[in-house]
């Protein structure tokens, strides 16, 4: 569907390195519509909820600690055709060194624990993450004036 939504987040390292605009730009340039965007300093408890699926992993505590104490994140929602799967491709692999040049991680980072961005991995997790990060009124429904030039 053309109105699929994904939760895309610039992580603290991405914000600190001034890459917020670059990451938003890539999704916009692809034709995806920005429907929510805010700078947040998440608490440790909040990041534990966001990454709940990873709570048994050995890197969980470090990940949560990093995400909640290294500066703000930029939380965004993008909307468009197949945005969840395509967004993951645009991000690259979880490990930046395995990410092809041309992807966000493949162009801007090198370390697993500093991979600058998050993207939902499935439509269901996107829904869960958007509900966690945003109040309903913070996700804006509007039509993009260029939509007929992006979609046939
Ligand atoms: P992704 O962010 O690509 O969806 P994930 O959900 O498996 O990857 O993990 C969330 C984040 O946790 C990931 O972006 C970086 C960190 N991470 C994943 N695997 C790791 C590992 N083996 N060691 C250290 N950090 C890891
Ligand atoms: Mg993930």
State how far the Cα of 66 lies from the Cα of 70, in Å rounded to an integer: 6
Query: How confident is the model at residue 1, as a pLDDT?
Result: 82
Q: CB of 132 within 8 A of CB of 126?
A: no
Taking CA 26 as the corner, what is the angle to CA 122 and CA 151, rounded to the nearest 5 degrees? 75
Residue ID of nearest Cα to ligand 1 atom 16: 113
Query: How confident is the model at residue 47, as a pLDDT?
Result: 98
Q: How does pLDDT run across 54-72, given as a tens digit for each residue?
A: 999 999 999 999 999 999 9
Query: How confident is the model at residue 143, as a pLDDT?
Result: 95
Residue numbers of the chain with a pLDDT score lower than 70: none
Q: Which residues contact 145 (CB under 8 A, 6 or more apart)?
A: none
Binding-site residues for ATP sit at 11, 59, 88, 94, 105, 115
Q: Is 115 in the pocket of ligand 1 (CB under 6 A)?
A: yes
Binding-site residues sit at 11, 59, 88, 94, 105, 115
- In this prediction the ipTM stands at 0.98
Query: How confident is the model at residue 85, as a pLDDT?
Result: 98
Q: Which helix (H) or strand (E) holds 49?
A: helix 44-50
């Amino acid at each position: 569907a053309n109105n699929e939504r994904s939760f895309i987040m610039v992580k603290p390292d991405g914000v600190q390195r001034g890459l917020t605009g670059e990451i938003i730009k890539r999704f916009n340039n692809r034709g995806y519509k920005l429907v929510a965007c805010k700078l947040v300093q998440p608490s440790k408890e909040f990041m534990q909820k966001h990454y709940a699926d990873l709570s048994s992993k050995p890197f969980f505590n470090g990940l949560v600690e990093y995400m909640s104490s290294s500066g703000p994140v930029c939380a965004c929602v993008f909307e468009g055709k197949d945005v969840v799967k395509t967004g993951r491709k645009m991000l690259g692999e979880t490990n930046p060194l395995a990410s092809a040049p041309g992807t966000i991680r493949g162009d801007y980072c090198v370390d697993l624990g500093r991979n600058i961005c998050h993207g939902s991995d499935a439509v269901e997790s996107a829904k869960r993450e958007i509900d966690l990060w945003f109040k309903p009124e913070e996700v804006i429904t509007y039509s993009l004036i260029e939509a007929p030039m992006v979609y046939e």
